């Protein structure tokens, strides 16, 4: 069984609050999927709550596991928001470094912090999937891409090539079926590994998390 843990960092009055949890449950009701996946979901309203949820997850983490964090990216690209409180990607990385190589991380945010999120990529965990910043992405597209990542993960082929092929397919679908046109050369979706990223498109952005307090995590 593949363990899915979704941590919802959106505020209850935000549109993103219900954008993934119910669709995830619907995804798992499709015949055959309930025998492949288990789902736990949590809402957090503060950085300390987020830390607590992740630490509890790490205690019970399984060999095959997917952690999804839904949040708005911080304008600095150096972090993300738990409701209205910013958290550095670097601080999140200090927690996620204990995830095994067989696990993956999905940053569920349509204004995510690339390249700032690169700090959250560890040398031990498997691939990190992120939706690019400065791209207006329909919720349905993000849901569909997340479900395809989960299906890909269930095949057991976690090679760099297979992950890159998946990214090419999803970005092409975004351009054709959804007509999402990335700005400033940002693709809709990227995958980051410990030794690089794909697509390897140079970004004009540089993260600046100087106005986000560092946390002793």
Both tokens of residue 29?
Answer: 């009701």
What region, left, alpha or beta, does residue 77 occupy, with left being phi > 0 and alpha being psi -120 to 50 degrees? left
pLDDT at 55: 95
Q: What residue ranges define each of the domains in the chain, with the CATH number in brackets?
A: 2-198 (3.40.50.1460)
What pLDDT, on a 0 to 100 scale, did the predictor assign at position 204? 64
Rounded Cα distance between 43 and 49, Å, is 9
Q: What is the pTM of this model?
A: 0.91
Q: What is residue 193's predicted lDDT score, i.e. its pLDDT?
A: 81
Count other C-beta atoms under 10 Å from residue 44's C-beta.
20
Q: What is the CA radius of gyration of the chain?
A: 16
Q: CB within 8 A of 152, min separation 6: which ones?
A: 162, 163, 166
Contact 149, 106 (CB under 8 A): yes
| Dihedral angle computed from the Cα positions of residues 160, 135, 44 and 153, in that order, rounded to the nearest 10 degrees | -20
Nearest of 131, 135, 137, 193 to residue 162 by alpha carbon: 193
pLDDT tens series, the chain, 217 aa: 999 999 999 998 876 677 798 899 999 998 789 889 999 999 999 999 999 999 999 999 998 999 999 998 888 878 899 998 999 888 898 888 888 888 999 999 877 666 667 666 666 678 889 887 666 778 888 999 999 999 999 999 888 899 999 999 999 888 887 777 665 566 888 888 876 788 877 666 666 767 898 998 8
pLDDT value of residue 120: 66
CB atoms within 10 A of CB 11: 16
The reported pLDDT for the residue numbered 162 is: 93
Residue 135 tokens, joined: 């791209």
Kind and range of the H or E element at 140?
helix 139-154
Pairing mode, if any, of strands 2-8 and 37-43?
parallel
């Amino acid at each position: 069984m593949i363990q899915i843990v979704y941590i919802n960092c959106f505020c209850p009055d935000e549109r993103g609050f219900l954008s993934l949890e119910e669709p995830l449950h619907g995804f798992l009701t499709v015949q055959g999927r309930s025998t492949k996946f288990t789902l736990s979901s949590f809402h957090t309203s503060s950085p300390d709550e987020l830390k607590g949820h992740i630490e509890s997850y790490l205690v019970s983490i399984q060999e095959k596991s997917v952690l999804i964090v839904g949040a708005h990216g911080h304008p600095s690209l150096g972090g993300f928001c738990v409701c209205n409180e910013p958290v550095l990607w670097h601080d999140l990385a200090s927690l996620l470094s204990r995830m095994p190589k067989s696990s993956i991380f999905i940053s569920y945010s349509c204004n995510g912090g690339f390249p700032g999120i690169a700090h959250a990529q560890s040398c031990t965990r498997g691939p990190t999937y992120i939706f690019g910043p400065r791209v207006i992405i329909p919720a349905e597209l993000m849901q569909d891409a997340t479900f395809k990542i989960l299906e890909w993960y269930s095949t057991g082929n976690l090679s760099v090539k297979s992950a890159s092929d998946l990214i090419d397919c999803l970005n092409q679908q975004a351009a054709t079926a959804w007509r999402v046109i990335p700005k400033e050369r940002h693709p809709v979706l990227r995958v980051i590994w410990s030794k690089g990223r794909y697509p390897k498109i140079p970004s004009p952005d540089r993260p600046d998390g100087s106005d986000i307090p560092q946390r002793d995590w």
